[in-house]
Structure 1
Amino acid sequence: MKRPIEDEESSCAGAEPTESKQAKLASDSNNDAAVAATGNTRNCTINRRRGDVKKAILMLMYSGSGYYGMQRNTGFDTIEGALFDSLLAGGHITEEEYLSPGKLQFQRASKTDKGVSALAQVVSMKLNLSDADSLKADVNSRLPTQIRLLDVFRTTKNFNCKARVNHREYAYICPSYAFASKSRPIDITYRIDSTQLELLRSCLSRYKGTKNYYNFTSGRPPGDASCNRYIIDFTVGEPFEYRDAEFVELRVRGQSFMLHQIRKMVGLAIAIVKGYCRLEAMDAVFTYKRMDVPKAPGLGLLLNKINYGAYNEKYAAELGYSTVDWDRFEAERSEFKSSHILPEIYRGETDNRSMLEWLRTLTMHSYDFDRQDGPPTVFKQQQQQSEQPKQFEKDSQSEAASSEPNSAGALNTGS
């Protein structure tokens, strides 16, 4: 393996340290002495001499349950907040760097929203990598068990973990009863049949290619070119059983995604498979005219993989850097999914009835073009619904009496 090319200039051999370097050496010595005397690392800098600091890649996985997303947000528990707390407590970053991550050239590969988990997340920053294994072990010892640092290693000095991504893969795990026909009551004993599964695959295949996803996000004006996104594929695996319920896992790969995009893609697919609108609705939704598209719950959304194929080929293969390769940790990721992520999804469905409660709202959507930027009657319907007893079984049975889809693919639900 070739020796990695040095990213930072090395000082000349035998050169006398400048006054500033002498001051820094004295500061490091004082820090080491303070740690030895008190054992307190919070305000001390351990092994932070500039010659040892390099740009690093950190490969992470986490359960998003109980966290307000990935990005640091003062006053809220976030994944980045927990990571920075652990780095600071271990003396791997300074107080100043903790408060100003830009000094570390910090970057994240992807944002995840409140409650969203990840089996593959990457951040990059400048760290001391003189003993990367010890750094990894120390940080993991301080992190909650639902956040794990899989690996930390050196990369090029200009590496940007967000810009270098080739594509991202998200999974959406939900109970199969989400796709049951609206004409039948549903419960945890439901098992999806081949007809429903094939219709679901047909829906998901319509997302492939470059399309306008204006109707799958919010806060962007009509005609915004940034709503054009490229989807590589959108598939569904074979159903699987977890405890006493059957689940399906949908996987979507794309270059990038907008706020709420995947949840709305799943929401529209569920509405079509259940019979609230026709498959032809997907021919009209990719326009700059606002349509009413339901947004599926966030509980089952999972950042599954981040692909760095071009980086791995150019820098790992040619220059000897480690690869950002998730297959190296397949066993750890599979075990983490089974022990931390699937139990949270199951608990959310059985205790909080996340999907069941959301399915009840599907009758509130028009699945048609709105006269304004948003469904004009939804808020009134929500208010009326909140005043009624939440009896899911009766609501499910009454779904059969709902209006049939019209020829344009819209469900006429009235006011």
Structure 2
Amino acid sequence: MGSMFSKASPEQDPRDQAQVGQKRVAGSDQEDGSSQTAGKASVSKKRFKTAKERKSHFKNTRTWTDDEPKRPKQEDGEKEARFPKRKVALLFGYSGTGYYGLQFNPNVPTIEQALFDALVKARAISKDNSTDPKKVQWGRTARTDKGVHAAGNIVSFKMQLPLTGKELVDSINEHLPEQIRVWDYVEVFRSFHAKTMCDSRVYEYLLPSYAFAPPLSNGLSDTPTSDTDVIITNHDRSITKYARVATDEERQRSEQYQISDEQLQNFRDVMAKFEGTHNFHNYTSGRKYNEQASKRHLLSIKVSDPFMIDRTEWLSVKLHGQSFMLNQIRKMISMGVLVVRHKSPLSLIERTFEDKKINIPKAPALGLLLEQPVFQTYNKKVDSRRDADEKKKKEDQPTQQKVHEYINFDANENDMNAFKSKYIYTQVFESEQQERGFETFLLSVDNSLTQDFDYLHSQDGMIPDQCIITTKFTIKQESDDEEQDEDDDKEEKAAKKGKGAASKAKRPAK
């Protein structure tokens, strides 16, 4: 992971309209007693050959007066130093804790705002361009939501070079908090855009093995037993129950849970079902089944072997895809975990790609991070230009002055791994211990007061009717389908009628 606006034409500001009107009147007054049309014609035909005539015409037709305040001139001492500018891809990583996502968002702290401010302070962006990122052609490879991390991400923009290489990188990092780091920058083609030239993205999701423990209901109560109870409601909130969270002793036992070999293989088999091209309309919000954008292609999904962190077993899932929709990865992880926990048939995953709309819960956001974007096509273009230059050198022909570098994170792998361990993995583990995100998530599903998740208990992998939900998108889709069926029926009847008329015309006269 659009909005609709009702707005006036952007072509003309109301102030400009007033000015145009005033100029039109001024033109009509040029000729004594003449019409507006005649005045305009005379003005357009008359040429002002001398500077004096042009100055006089300008003074008569302008829309402001001499007594209006003028913009103060900038003092010589206030002039900002100018530096060479280059279009670059900036490689950076961050822990999303405490930030409201990556993208600029007024009045709340975001990663891009912190990065942009640091670039201005390091003089990589001039003060003249510091008021609007569009002035430097700012673009991002992948957006991340609130609390989501990234070991590697990229923004592209026109950057000043007051320093070069590592000195400039260090200067930018001096103005950043430790949980945001710039790894490097690469000078790119002037037509480069971080989003449109990205071929694919690699995400990682971390989850504790106790998420695969068998479903356990602690019982629901009509009144809260403590401040930590999980609130469970039905769709219209007419019923409210409270689920008790695990005690400290129960948590210690759950944290010692280790996934079995059979469960691990089942989880790998489930996640492999998502590879390839499928319709993921059930794994996001606001998408219809028949939208082309609902189809996404996943190149690979790899589930790691279990590893221990502070006596708790964890798994890492790496997902490599061309692009992902809002909440898609969190819903995929959720479905994988729930299918294994409830021992649902694998064929259930294939049913979720069909047109029936169902509710798939989201796994906690804290375990999700962007590993890195991939620019394979761009790097091939760099190779092609290098090969062309080499050929020209052999033929003693002039070559391109600038040799561009590949965009990848290979040279920064060690720094990125150290950063992930210190600022991302540690944050994920500590947050799960304190907030118990997976416990809350699983309690909500195991104790649901609705029939939304009955498909997990389907023996044949089919979606029961009581699980199918209706939204404004499914209603619109059904209406479109009905209209299409009516059109098809009309076309079919017209075709049959045409054939009948043609056959009658061919019959010989008796």
The question of a shared fold, defined as TM-score above 0.5 by the shorter chain, is answered with yes
Q: Does 1:172 align with 2:205?
A: yes
Match of 2:191 among 158, 161, 169: 158
Please give the per-residue CA displacement for 1:245-287, whole angstroms capped at 9, x wherever unaligned. Answer: 1110001111001001010110100110111743221121002
CA distance in 1 between partners of 2:293 and 2:429 (Å): 35
> By how many angstroms is 1:70 displaced?
0.5
The answer to whether the Cα contact below 8 Å between 2:351 and 2:463 also exists between their aligned partners in 1 is: no
Aligned-residue Cα RMSD (Å) equals 2.4
User: What amino acid maps onto 2:155 in structure 1?
Assistant: V
Moved more, 183-192 or 168-177: 183-192
Aligned residues: 341
2:36 corresponds to which residue?
A: none
Match of 1:407 among 460, 471, 474: 460
Gaps of at least 5 residues in structure 1 are: 1-25, 35-43, 370-402
> By how many angstroms is 1:368 displaced?
5.8
Secondary structure of the 1:99 match is coil
Match of 1:79 among 101, 106, 111: 111
> By how many angstroms is 1:183 displaced?
5.7
2:179 corresponds to which residue?
A: 146
Measured at CA, do residues 353 and 302 of structure 1 come closer, stay the same or move farther in structure 2, by a change above 3 Å?
same
Q: Does 1:327 align with 2:410?
A: yes
> By how many angstroms is 1:405 displaced?
4.0
Match of 1:366 among 435, 440, 452: 452
Match of 1:47 among 74, 82, 93: 82
CA distance in 2 between partners of 1:112 and 1:87 (Å): 20
CA distance in 2 between partners of 1:208 and 1:188 (Å): 30
Please give the per-residue CA displacement for 1:141-161, whole angstroms capped at 9, x wherever unaligned. Answer: 000000000002311111011
The answer to whether the Cα contact below 8 Å between 1:235 and 1:250 also exists between their aligned partners in 2 is: yes
Measured at CA, do residues 291 and 413 of structure 1 come closer, stay the same or move farther in structure 2, by a change above 3 Å?
closer
CA distance in 2 between partners of 1:130 and 1:95 (Å): 13
Q: Percent identity?
A: 32
Measured at CA, do residues 77 and 291 of structure 1 come closer, stay the same or move farther in structure 2, by a change above 3 Å?
same
CA distance in 2 between partners of 1:307 and 1:60 (Å): 14
Match of 2:300 among 224, 229, 233: 233
2:257 corresponds to which residue?
A: 190
Please give the per-residue CA displacement for 1:47-79, whole angstroms capped at 9, x wherever unaligned. Answer: 34xxx1111110001111111111010111111
Measured at CA, do residues 287 and 47 of structure 1 come closer, stay the same or move farther in structure 2, by a change above 3 Å?
same
| TM-score normalized with structure 1 length | 0.77
User: What amino acid maps onto 1:284 in structure 2?
Assistant: R
CA distance in 2 between partners of 1:214 and 1:181 (Å): 28
1:136 corresponds to which residue?
A: 169
CA distance in 2 between partners of 1:368 and 1:413 (Å): 8
Please give the per-residue CA displacement for 1:137-181, whole angstroms capped at 9, x wherever unaligned. Answer: 111000000000000231111101111111101000111111222
Moved more, 150-159 or 86-95: 86-95
CA distance in 2 between partners of 1:317 and 1:147 (Å): 34
Measured at CA, do residues 412 and 179 of structure 1 come closer, stay the same or move farther in structure 2, by a change above 3 Å?
farther
Please give the per-residue CA displacement for 1:17-52, whole angstroms capped at 9, x wherever unaligned. Answer: xxxxxxxxx97x94xx55xxxxxxxxx74434xxx1
Measured at CA, do residues 411 and 338 of structure 1 come closer, stay the same or move farther in structure 2, by a change above 3 Å?
farther
Match of 2:423 among 330, 340, 343: 340
Measured at CA, do residues 132 and 367 of structure 1 come closer, stay the same or move farther in structure 2, by a change above 3 Å?
farther
> By how many angstroms is 1:412 displaced?
11
The answer to whether the Cα contact below 8 Å between 2:123 and 2:162 also exists between their aligned partners in 1 is: no
> By how many angstroms is 1:404 displaced?
4.7
CA distance in 2 between partners of 1:359 and 1:95 (Å): 50
2:332 corresponds to which residue?
A: 265
> By how many angstroms is 1:201 displaced?
0.5
Match of 2:354 among 283, 287, 291: 287
Secondary structure of the 1:351 match is helix
2:342 corresponds to which residue?
A: 275
Secondary structure of the 2:366 match is coil
Match of 2:96 among 64, 67, 80: 64
2:13 corresponds to which residue?
A: none
Larger Rg: 2
1:12 corresponds to which residue?
A: none
Please give the per-residue CA displacement for 1:318-344, whole angstroms capped at 9, x wherever unaligned. Answer: 342122121211110110011111111
The answer to whether the Cα contact below 8 Å between 1:277 and 1:411 also exists between their aligned partners in 2 is: no
> By how many angstroms is 1:244 displaced?
1.8
The answer to whether the Cα contact below 8 Å between 2:96 and 2:148 also exists between their aligned partners in 1 is: yes
CA distance in 2 between partners of 1:77 and 1:223 (Å): 37
1:117 corresponds to which residue?
A: 149
> By how many angstroms is 1:194 displaced?
0.4
CA distance in 2 between partners of 1:120 and 1:224 (Å): 30
Secondary structure of the 1:81 match is helix
User: What amino acid maps onto 1:108 in structure 2?
Assistant: R
User: What amino acid maps onto 1:47 in structure 2?
Assistant: R
The answer to whether the Cα contact below 8 Å between 1:66 and 1:115 also exists between their aligned partners in 2 is: yes
CA distance in 2 between partners of 1:210 and 1:413 (Å): 28
> By how many angstroms is 1:90 displaced?
2.6
Secondary structure of the 1:299 match is helix
The answer to whether the Cα contact below 8 Å between 1:166 and 1:308 also exists between their aligned partners in 2 is: yes
User: What amino acid maps onto 1:156 in structure 2?
Assistant: F
CA distance in 2 between partners of 1:411 and 1:180 (Å): 25
Gaps of at least 5 residues in structure 2 are: 1-72, 218-249, 387-402, 468-510
> By how many angstroms is 1:193 displaced?
1.1
